[in-house]
Amino acid sequence: MKRTSAMKTLLPSFLVTVVVATTAHAGTVMDDIKASDKLVCLVNPNSPGFSIPDSQGVFQGFNTDFCRMAAAGILGDAEKVDIRGVGFSDSLKTLVARGAHVASRSITETGTRDADPALAFVATTFYDGQGFMVPKSLGVSSAKELKGATVCAEDGSTTLLTLADWFSDRGMSYRVENIADKTARLEAFFSGKCDVYASDVTALNSDRLLSDKPDDYVILPEIISNEPLALVTQPDQELESAVFWAFQVMLNADKYGVTSKNVDEIMADIGNQPKAVNRLFAADGAAAEMATKLGLPADWAYRVIKQVGAYSEVFDRHLGQETPFKLDRAKTINASFDDGGLMYAYPIR
């Protein structure tokens, strides 16, 4: 949740924004979600593994499952979500204009973005870094060989700033093709208009799959930035808390070996489960107490796990070793803290 928002001091010219943000923190966004019985969530319109329409036009992917997580936790039903594919800049504008409740589309949390009173960065769902993709035919094996290259990058993204820093620090010239539309950007790269495509490494792996010949492209070894990719909501303390703790339920489930497949068996024998599992799922547990305070379904934690799954399930389902990404979560920084990664489960007690 946006822990600093209440302490921000804004100039008088921003008084209108302050009124809107203060009102939102009173819970009006949650009221809107409950009144409409639907959560509106923004995702990337075409990102294999993260968010892409299936044959029925329904968005599927790693990021879309956090939209469903929020709906399951708040409304008790993961299907009560309106998932909309929008471009990067439009997603932030839509949140600011209160046209959606949540964005789950690999948005990097930065200081200036978090300082915006109309946005709330809630939880990091994936830790990433910016990299470079090039055609194999370019014949380079390191980003240090990219002097004078033309780079395709997304308009309005942190990618442009990181590129400027990286090339400047090394005294290397480059040219950028600053293209907002992803389809046009990829077309420019795959057609040879750009020598290099720059984005987060996971996005590069995803976008590479959109080529007719994915094997013709390679991702260079350099990772040149830190990119904490976060869930973003409208500012509303109840909404921020509900989304943040629903994500923590998924991480805690991982920690204690609870999955969508065994949660019913665990619930049937809840009296004999470890105390931490009781706090998650028992009728008199901490999660049930949180439900009362946050206005969530009494069994919200169970519904998140049953309907969406633990974090590892979501990761493996869309990015794991049985997918085109072939990622072993345990070997990434998105592993559990207990396994040396950065995913740290906050205690629910």
Mind listing the pLDDT tens digit for each residue in 97-136?
999 999 999 999 999 999 999 999 999 999 999 999 999 9
Per domain, the residue ranges of the chain are 5-128+228-247+302-339, 130-225
Mean pLDDT of the chain: 92
Residue 24 has pLDDT above 50, yes or no: no
Q: 259 exposed, middle or buried (CB, 10 Å; 0-12, 13-18, 19+)?
A: middle
Average pLDDT over residues 229-234: 97
CATH superfamily of 5-128+228-247+302-339: Periplasmic binding protein-like II (3.40.190.10)
pLDDT greater than 80 at residue 227: yes
Residue 26 is given by DSSP the state I
| 3-class DSSP assignment, residue 287 | helix
pLDDT of residue 158: 86
Q: What is the pLDDT of residues 255-296, one digit of tens each?
A: 999 999 999 999 999 999 999 999 999 999 999 999 999 999
7: pLDDT strictly greater than 60? no
In the prediction, which pLDDT does 88 show? 85
| Distance (Å, whole) CA 104 – CA 229 | 9
Q: Which CATH class is domain 130-225?
A: alpha beta
Query: Where residue 11 falls among pLDDT bands split at 50, 70, 90?
Result: very low
Mean pLDDT of 146-164: 92
190-225 per-position pLDDT tens digit: 999 999 999 999 999 999 999 999 999 999 999 999
Do β-strands 120-128 and 227-233 pair in parallel, antiparallel, or remain unpaired? antiparallel
How much is the pTM? 0.87
pLDDT at position 6 over 60 = no
Instruction: Specify the pLDDT at position 156.
Output: 78
- Each as own residue / partner, the long-range contacts of residues 167-176 (CB below 8 Å, 24 or more positions apart, any chain) are 170/144, 172/146, 172/147, 172/148, 173/147, 173/148, 174/146, 174/147, 174/148, 174/149, 174/150, 175/148, 175/149, 175/150, 175/151, 176/150, 176/151, 176/152
pLDDT(304) > 50: yes
pLDDT for the residue numbered 20: 40
pLDDT the model gives residue 26: 47
| Contact between 82 and 38 (Cβ < 8 Å) | yes
Domain 5-128+228-247+302-339 matches domain 130-225 at the CATH topology level: yes
> In the predicted model, what is the mean pLDDT of residues 81-89?
93
